[in-house]
């Protein structure tokens, strides 16, 4: 089995030496996505954690779509957040994206994230070919 690099202009370019995603067999691993606008490369700094979460999840969705998957194929998400007091707001935005299928998830409070972001979301999806 060979790994296929997933790359799309509909999600921000990687901010380090890694791929946006990797497809290995029927499994897709999406690297952590920050709330960065893929068109401008600018981190959202509007102060609205729900919007930051939405942007991060839109970026996850774009990478999945490039690999031939959807959010319904996601089996596991990990959410990293700087302020756990915003957990409920993050959940509200997260629930907008996972309606039919609710994947397993972990959420970690962290001291800092790349570029000073407040939230980052990574995902693993499995597609049936």
Q: Residue 47's domain is classified under what CATH number?
A: 3.30.1330.40
What phi and psi values does residue 90 have, to the nearest 5 degrees? -60, -45
Q: Which domain holds residue 11?
A: 3-126
Residues 6+ apart with CB under 8 A from 8: 20, 62, 63, 65, 66
pLDDT digits (tens, 9 = 90+) for 51-94: 999 999 999 999 999 999 999 999 999 999 999 999 999 999 99
- Total structural domains in the chain? 1
Give the residue numbers annotated as catalytic, written as ranges. 107
pLDDT digits (tens, 9 = 90+) for 51-60: 999 999 999 9
Residues of the chain above pLDDT 70, percent: 98
pTM of the model: 0.96
pLDDT of residue 63: 98
């Amino acid at each position: 089995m060979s790994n296929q690099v997933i790359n799309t202009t509909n999600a921000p370019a990687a901010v380090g030496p890694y791929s946006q995603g990797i497809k290995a067999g029927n499994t897709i691993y999406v690297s952590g996505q920050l709330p960065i606008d893929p068109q401008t490369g600018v981190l959202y700094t509007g102060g609205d954690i729900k919007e930051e979460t939405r942007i991060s999840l839109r970026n996850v969705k774009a990478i999945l779509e490039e690999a031939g998957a959807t959010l319904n194929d996601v089996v596991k998400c990990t959410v990293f957040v700087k302020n756990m007091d915003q957990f409920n707001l993050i959940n509200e935005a997260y629930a907008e994206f996972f309606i039919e299928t609710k994947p397993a998830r972990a959420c970690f409070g962290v001291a800092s994230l790349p570029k000073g972001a407040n939230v980052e979301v990574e995902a693993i999806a499995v597609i049936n070919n």
